[in-house]
Amino acid sequence: MSEIKTIGVVGAGTMGNGIAQLASQIGANVIMRDIKEEFVERGLASINKFLSKGVERGKVTEEQKQDVLSRIKGTTEVSDLAEADFIVEAVIEDLDLKKKVFSELDEVCRPEVILATNTSSMSITLIAAATKRPEKVVGMHFFNPVPLMKLVEIIRGYATSDEAVKVTSELAQKMGKETVEVKVDSPGFIVNRLMIPHMLEAVKLVEEGVASREDVDKALKLGLNYPMGPFELMDFTGIDICKFVADYFYDELNKELKWVSPTLLKNTVRSGNLGRKTGKGWYDYKK
């Protein structure tokens, strides 16, 4: 594998722009692609905002901020990714969309380029099957907010090579992350496989009248030393994401009843109150 000088990021949303920022901070040139110019511009603005806060807090200088921004090129053209030495896909959690993206990347990128997916739960093997290079497809699951969270899960698909795992792990570590290796392509990998059950049980406790959501959050923060309670965390990541992943687990993990979403969770998602991104979820964030 040649030196990684240019990193392509597909998706300029919360995860994508965070990954693009990290890639630029280690000195790589970055090509951040999304389907609309407005999405690209929003992603670049988010990076600028995050770095500006760092300047205010004395974490980075204005010169360092401008240096990082200067290495990130936004585009809507998938063909621009042809010059990338490594790709990270960070589009929405839609398997068909991811397969389409990987099929396009397979055509555009050089044969030796590793294609990584930031999926939080989906099958690396299925995504890799959309390419002619399944041995070079790997899971690289960052956590939100990307610049601050220390963990990256590195996930093997059925055909992922040792070399792809090694290169991806080393890149994540160069970005300042700690890595864990998921050796079998199992839904949810490590973190979500453990996190989703405790979110579902938290909702059931409230639904059954055992405790209020405020007290459930307080109990886990003070009793288990969690930085956020499960309801706060669902609001932060998106309540719909919790339900989506639970439904995916139900389909993929033998339709076990423990993965069935509680009625309260279903109705909250149906109401459109999805957390911070909509201004209201389990808690109210509207000013």
Residue of 192, 232, 261, 273 marked active site: 192
Contact criterion met (CB below 8 Å) for 44 and 29: no
Q: Which of 123, 141, 169, 232 is catalytic?
A: 141
Length in residues, the chain: 287
Integer CA distances (angstroms), 206 to 199, 201, 231, in order = 11, 9, 10
Catalytic residue among 24, 121, 153, 261: 153
**Which of 24, 46, 118, 120 is flagged as catalytic?**
120
Whether 153 is a known active-site residue: answer: yes
Contact 208, 231 (CB under 8 A): no
Strands 151-156 and 137-141, bridge-based pairing: antiparallel
Active-site residue, 141 included: yes
159 exposure class (CB count in 10 Å sphere: 0-12, 13-18, 19+): middle
End-to-end CA distance of the chain: 51
Active site residues: 120, 141, 153, 192
